[in-house]
Chain A
């Protein structure tokens, strides 16, 4: 709030000078925010109203059923999503953060290959996810022989969100003032000590936010996993990284295309669960950010 109040009062002061333009601009800004917000609110209220009758313990205690929407649940999809996302985080975050540290702290930016890597990472972030699905199917599932398993899904989703993790982590690392590094080095710390004790802790808030955004993208993906053998009917929770699995977006997609109305209600309820998991992840990011935030 403190941050917000300063520019606002500045705007109020200035607006006395040329009120019409200022007001128009402000209305345009609020309208932009409003559009995003109205759509989100509409979607949220729709799934809540539609799914309300089925948001109960059956949803996470029961396994899917094609025979009766009243006893059907999404337990295997919920555990599948948790498995896939946790493993994606474990595989992607260390790799992505390490790559970001290299690119920010060690890489010589005057060398052409480092510039090529940079450009490539930015391009990779824009590739449609289904392409990663094809890549995962050809290389991870078939060439590596990992099959249609949790680990294949996680590795593919990991590749999909790795560019986002790298870009966000680099921004966060770059935001640490150079004076902190210089101070640390001047006191005799090695470069690694400077990075691990000063730069990284200081950039955790930004890295966490970026990583959660990346994982949030991964959790909602269905297209690449359709290529990777996420099944639409499974009555077992994954029992290892090589197990068959399904995830919530696929379960939702499957229920929506059923003919019986009861399954459409279930789909909405499952969307609410997916949103809750997302919200939970975002809250963790906010908590991390607040806990580690430093001001210089």
Chain B
């Protein structure tokens, strides 16, 4: 059956190539269809070609995509693709040897490490940016300017399920406004991180809230109800600052508003988190992989700023560069 299909697909390729080259005749950006999958090993030379496959966290994807986009101006023939399977889904493919770089919004877990080892996939961890998970409330919310982590836990812990339904139950000083919660979907690294930091256990959360992988849903939900509360990445808040209010977080040392500076100097605890990329050892040996990673690491602050991420502070950036240098010499 497979050989039949392979023959069929060969015929199919020919047919489609003809059809497509006719269809795309007007645009000239299509590369010639005949040259097949380009091999990577055109050593040295100014222009490299080949492919680098990144996949993983949808939080980190805009950063890697921005890096790929800037990089295309330098090396237009290296095809960098970015997928968004989620942090967990990304590692699953990465450890199966199917991708070259895994984007992650949390560090790799032990069982994922084991899966990588089982398949002989070696990797290293690079911290490329910082995110500040931002808790947002409605514009008309006049009472919750600052919330303690204990109050957040009271709202989100599994025990709150069905019981904590108004703001007054969270704190007697708050009005008797219904509490409407919006949060990240359970597949995301954002959910893992938030539940870990606030509820004390990864994945433990009340169930009766509106989960969504699409942060626009949270924006609409919170901006549409006076007692609404939700959380997502800082970038998303900045884009929607006219519709929502960010809450200051008090983890014991006073109220701190989410901001670039607070996330960089480490005072925005516990919701500032590092974002990672995991390049495989195999890709750091290929010229196209080295070219892309050199560019990514070398221009990290420009890329992060442009993609509206919180750039690393100088110390972290120095660490990234030395980690990367070590990785290259090690290979």
Contacts and interface: CB of A to CB of B under 8 A. Distances in A.
A155 B2 CA distance: 11
Interface string A219-255: 0000000100111111111011111100000000010
Interface string B52-93: 010100100110111011101000000111111100000001
A121 interface: no
Contacts of A226: 85
B329 interface: no
Interface string A77-100: 001001100110011000000000
A23 B35 CA distance: 66
Contacts of A237: 24, 29-31
A233 B9 contact: no
Contact of A234 (B30, B32, B79): B79
B150 interface: no
A193 B212 CA distance: 58
Q: Which of B8, B11, B12, B51 has the most CB of A within 10 A?
A: B12
Contacts of A240: 13, 33, 36-37
A75 interface: yes
A132 interface: no
Interface stretch (B15-23, B135-143, B263-271, B313-321): B15-23
Nearest to B72: A235
Contacts of B98: 147-148, 229
Nearest to B35: A239
Contacts of B330: none
Interface stretch (B39-47, B120-128, B192-200, B232-240): B232-240
A258 B213 CA distance: 11
A264 to B, nearest CB: 8
A258 B31 CA distance: 29
A256 interface: yes
Contact of A239 (B31, B93, B239): B31
Nearest to B216: A257
A171 B273 CA distance: 59
B250 interface: no
Interface stretch (A10-18, A61-69, A172-180, A286-294): A61-69
B85 to A, nearest CB: 8
A50 to B, nearest CB: 14
A244 B36 contact: no
Interface residues on A, range: 35 or more
A41 B64 CA distance: 39
A260 B81 contact: no
B166 to A, nearest CB: 30
A256 B216 contact: yes
A259 interface: yes
Interface in B165-190: none
B161 interface: no
Contacts of B147: none
A66 B31 contact: no
B214 interface: yes
B306 interface: yes
A243 B16 contact: no
B189 to A, nearest CB: 15
B51 A61 contact: no
B160 interface: no
Contacts of A61: 27, 29
A66 B61 CA distance: 10
A42 B100 CA distance: 43
A151 interface: yes
Nearest to A65: B69
B31 to A, nearest CB: 6
Given A231-B81, A239-B35, A243-B37, A259 B216 contact: yes
Contact of A235 (B30, B36, B79): B79
Contacts of B15: 86, 90
A289 B63 CA distance: 49
B83 A241 contact: no
18 contacts: A75-B29, A79-B24, A86-B20, A87-B9, A147-B98, A151-B9, A229-B85, A229-B93, A232-B61, A232-B83, A233-B68, A235-B68, A235-B79, A236-B81, A237-B29, A241-B9, A254-B84, A257-B213
Given A66-B307, A259-B235, 9 more contacts: A229-B98, A231-B55, A235-B69, A240-B36, A241-B9, A242-B37, A243-B37, A257-B214, A257-B215
Interface of B: 2, 5, 8-9, 11-13, 15-16, 19-20, 23-24, 27, 29-33, 35-37, 51, 53, 55, 58, 61-62, 64-66, 68-70, 72, 79-85, 93, 96, 98, 213-216, 235-236, 239-240, 306-307
